[in-house]
Amino acid sequence: MRLALTIAYDGSAFYGSAYQPRLRTVEGDLASCLVDMGAIESAAGGVVHMASRTDRGVSAAGNVCAFDASLGPESLLPGLVHTLEDIWVTGAAVVDDRFHPRHAAGKTYRYYLPGQGLEVDSMRQAAQIFVGRHDFSAFAKLDGRNPERTVTDVGVEQRDGLLVIEITGTSFLWNQVRRMVAAMAAAGRGDITPEEVAQMLAGAGGRDPGIASPEYLLLARVSYQPAIAWRPVSGSIRFLERRMADMAARHALFGDMHTLAAGVASK
């Protein structure tokens, strides 16, 4: 039986999603847990297949994995929910044996950027330059694959002092999203113009804006055609809510730290 799962995870806890010997990864933790439960025979790389290989530090709300299991979801899901740490299983589906999660119709990423000092209109102008099918050689770490990719939508939303950049495409090259974000942020700071971003995309060179940090990147969702009828896994959501409450407490702690420290510094 081939079982597919939608998973969320805290990327700061892992050395990326793909299996690496002797390093903690999302795939490695999933495979080890499944072996302990008797669902699969080996925790080696390539047994659990991932829709997207996220880099070290990158988090996910809706990555997808699939594997051939000797146990059904009724037996597997409770164990996964209560055993996995920093990974939350949010949906499950029994899929066709030919299903591979990497054959997705689209992927959406979100990047969370402090908005202070950034010109939003310039960022939005730069964002629209990326929409369409382009050669993204100037905005990726090339690995021999075809550098042409289709970006279907890029949006920049203001939210509580942050800028949330959402990028949707059919597939992405290595580091493509983070390099696109870096270019948009550079345009927002006035370091480069949207026109220079267009020139870079066209292969005309220009100032390299660098690459955005992985810790603020989220793989929001992966879509398929036809759509998969996911069965919700509510138990994991409760554990995720506990993590959110812990982080809210830390946020309040740092807020008070700033207020108290600023009071001392002003005396």
Alpha-carbon separation of residue 214 from 167, 184, 195 (angstroms): 15, 15, 26
Tokens matching residue 43: 């925790």
Distance from C-alpha of 218 to C-alpha of 210, rounded to nearest angstrom:
19
For residue 114, name the pLDDT band (cuts at 50, 70, 90): very high
45 has a pLDDT exceeding 80: no
For residue 63, name the pLDDT band (cuts at 50, 70, 90): very high
Q: What is the mean pLDDT of residues 70-74?
A: 87
> Is 55 part of the annotated catalytic residue set?
yes
Hey, where are the domains in the chain? 2-103+224-246, 106-220
Reduced to 3 states (helix: H, G, I; strand: E, B; else coil), residue 263 is helix
Q: Are 49 and 37 in contact (CB under 8 A)?
A: no
80-92: pLDDT as tens digits: 999 999 999 999 9
Q: What is the reported pLDDT for 215?
A: 96
Q: What is the reported pLDDT for 267?
A: 65
Q: What is the mean pLDDT of residues 207-221?
A: 95
Catalytic residue (choose from 10, 55, 135, 153) = 55
206 has a pLDDT exceeding 90: no
For residue 113, name the pLDDT band (cuts at 50, 70, 90): very high
**Domain spanning 106-220: CATH 3.40.50.1970:** no
Does the fold of domain 106-220 match that of domain 2-103+224-246?
yes
First-to-last CA distance in the chain? 68
Give 217's strand partners.
111
Secondary structure (DSSP) of 155-186 = EEEEETTEEEEEEEES---TTHHHHHHHHHHH
Q: What is the reported pLDDT for 44?
A: 80
The CATH classification of domain 2-103+224-246, taken from the options 3.30.70.580, 3.10.330.10, 3.40.50.970, 1.10.3720.10: 3.30.70.580
Q: What is the pTM of this model?
A: 0.92
